[in-house]
Amino acid sequence: MSRLIVVSNRVSAPKDPAAGSAGGLAMALSAALRKYDGLWFGWSGETVETFKAEAKFEDRAGVTVALVDLEAQDVDEYYNGYANKTLWPLFHHRVDLTAYERSFGEGYERTNARFAEVLAPLIEPDDLIWIHDYHMIPLARDLRRLGVTNRIGFFLHTPWPARQLLVTLPYHRRLVESLFDFDLIGFHTREWMDLFTDYVVSEAKGDVTGENGLECFGRQVQVGVFPIGIDVDGFLEARNSTLGARTYDRMAASAVFRSMIVGVDRLDYSKGLEQRLVGYEEFLHKNPSMRGDVFLLQVTPISRDDVDTYQDIRGRLDALAGRINGEFADMDWQPIRYLNRTYRRDQLAGIYRAARVGLVTPLRDGMNLVAKEYVAAQNPEDPGVLILSRFAGAAEQMGEALLVNPFSREELSDAIKNALTMPLAERIRKWEALMKVVRDTDVSIWRDDFVQALMSAPRVKELPVFDAA
């Protein structure tokens, strides 16, 4: 293999890896790109009046990145539109929030074709191409149309939706067909892979071939399960750093005589934040004697604020947190500390470590890395308890957590009580099992397994001949 080309909507290779803000995924992919002398390609985040089929190159701490500017209409229709208002809600089973606008689909197709036009000339014959996430499903098809015959892999960071919901999408067949121009498609869990297979077999009348192969639309593709994880050693280093330790001390001091429950999530309806607050409220109602002994720290940076659904949920959460605090707070105690801000990785590690309970309760989530970060940050001799939604991909591996149905406020309330009263020996036993999972799914293992599988995926026997039009 000569080089690895990573493609994603936004390029997150850090300019300064020591600054502590880059996530594990960005660090792991950057390390692979340095090793394989690669290139990270994606949207610059900038808009221009008229699209030009050219990339701007930058060096970011030894990683070459190639960035493309888009037109404002592309951003509206492809990014805010089809990616964030159509595919994201649909893949998270929110058909009630899904926008079925034809212009969004057209913008998605147009923008992917534009990415292909800029990327194709940068590809050399032996390059391995790894495309990430739902923003870029048609990109392999568009590259093939331009004559690219390299191995191309796709990894989906979100869940794959149930067939009965996917068919509500106009042109669902076209979307799935374009995935057959990849050589390998990776999912976080067997459940997401099985849902994809179900669509291919039941709706598109394809076949399962061998252990990991699918055949449909006259083509074959390999599928596989590659559960993502965190950069465990990097995270432990962050936890033990001066700032990590100082943040822990600060939080421990502020929680003195009280148990802290922590939630850390982007502000997104898939994360189950409203249901979580309602479950916590139920716990406060049902357990008056425990009230003053606990508080919930919910750290929720604003995301996708250009999309109106996200503004709506933000308003509802503000109101809900305010109502619960208004009802229960005392002169020296507030049940919820609700913060809309981001923290560095070392600060987050210190916060997690000071929390007796980690509350990770998405309604549907591809994997959920916060669950793994919370576990990694714990003190092995006195670990906290992870409460995890059964609908997070992470639940497929992290069965030793307290698994809950986040739609049930009573189940959430019971789980919070169990976690707060769990004996030390049980907490240690559970933590040890969970920490093993976190280590076994380190992000570098995920990356290397995917790259290896892509390198050895059987080649598409014959590339389809496309009409130039």
Name the DSSP class of 218: T
Sign (positive or negative) of CA dihedral 80, 141, 223, 206: positive
Per the CB < 8 A criterion, the answer to whether 301 and 262 are in contact is no
CB of 25 to ligand ADQ, least distance (A): 6
Q: Residue 443, interface with ligand ADQ (CB under 6 A)?
A: no
CB of 351 to ligand ADQ, least distance (A): 9
Of positions 342, 405, 408, 444, contacts ligand ADQ by CB under 6 A: 342
DSSP labels, 123-188: --TT-EEEEESGGGTTHHHHHHHTT--S-EEEE--SPPPPHHHHTTSTTHHHHHHHHTTSSEEEES
Catalytic annotation present for 346: no
Q: Residue 266, interface with ligand ADQ (CB under 6 A)?
A: yes
Write the CB contacts of 366 (distance below 8 Å, at least 6 apart in sequence): 156, 157, 158, 159, 188, 192, 393
CB of 446 to ligand ADQ, least distance (A): 9
C-alpha span between 354 and 349 (Å, rounded): 9
Q: Residue 366, interface with ligand ADQ (CB under 6 A)?
A: yes
Of positions 368, 378, 397, 413, contacts ligand ADQ by CB under 6 A: 368
Q: Residue 343, interface with ligand ADQ (CB under 6 A)?
A: yes
Of positions 13, 128, 307, 369, contacts ligand ADQ by CB under 6 A: 369
β 219-225/213-216 pair status: antiparallel
C-alpha span between 244 and 240 (Å, rounded): 6
Region 274-313 residues binding ligand ADQ, contact defined as CB under 6 A = 299, 301
Of 212 and 342, nearer to ligand ADQ (C-beta) is 342
Q: Of these residues, 127, 183, 231, 365, which one is catalytic? A: 365
* Neighbour count for residue 30 (Cβ, 10 Å): 24
Q: Residue 358, interface with ligand ADQ (CB under 6 A)?
A: no
Q: Residue 387, interface with ligand ADQ (CB under 6 A)?
A: no
Of 309 and 342, nearer to ligand ADQ (C-beta) is 342
Q: Residue 264, interface with ligand ADQ (CB under 6 A)?
A: yes
Site string for ligand ADQ, 223-242 (x = CB under 6 A): -----x--------------
What is the distance between the terminal CA atoms of the chain, rounded to a whole angstrom? 32
Q: Which stretch binds ligand ADQ (CB under 6 A): 112-120, 208-216, 239-247, 263-271?
A: 263-271
CB of 158 to ligand ADQ, least distance (A): 6
- Write out the two tokens for 336: 């919820």
Write the CB contacts of 91 (distance below 8 Å, at least 6 apart in sequence): 134, 158, 159, 160, 161
Q: Which stretch binds ligand ADQ (CB under 6 A): 119-127, 212-220, 363-371, 420-428?
A: 363-371
C-alpha span between 261 and 282 (Å, rounded): 15
Of 220 and 378, nearer to ligand ADQ (C-beta) is 378
Sign (positive or negative) of CA dihedral 385, 391, 393, 395: positive
Q: Residue 349, interface with ligand ADQ (CB under 6 A)?
A: no
Q: Residue 89, interface with ligand ADQ (CB under 6 A)?
A: no
Catalytic annotation present for 365: yes
CB of 52 to ligand ADQ, least distance (A): 30
Of positions 75, 87, 166, 348, contacts ligand ADQ by CB under 6 A: 348
Residue that is written with structure tokens 């061998």 in the block = 210
Binding-residue total with ligand ADQ (CB under 6 A) = 20
In degrees and rounded to multiples of 5, residue 81 shows phi and psi of -80, -90
Residue that is written with structure tokens 């169990």 in the block = 418
List active site positions: 157, 365
Q: Which residues bind ligand ADQ (CB under 6 A)?
A: 23, 25, 157-158, 228, 264-266, 299, 301, 342-343, 348, 365-370, 373
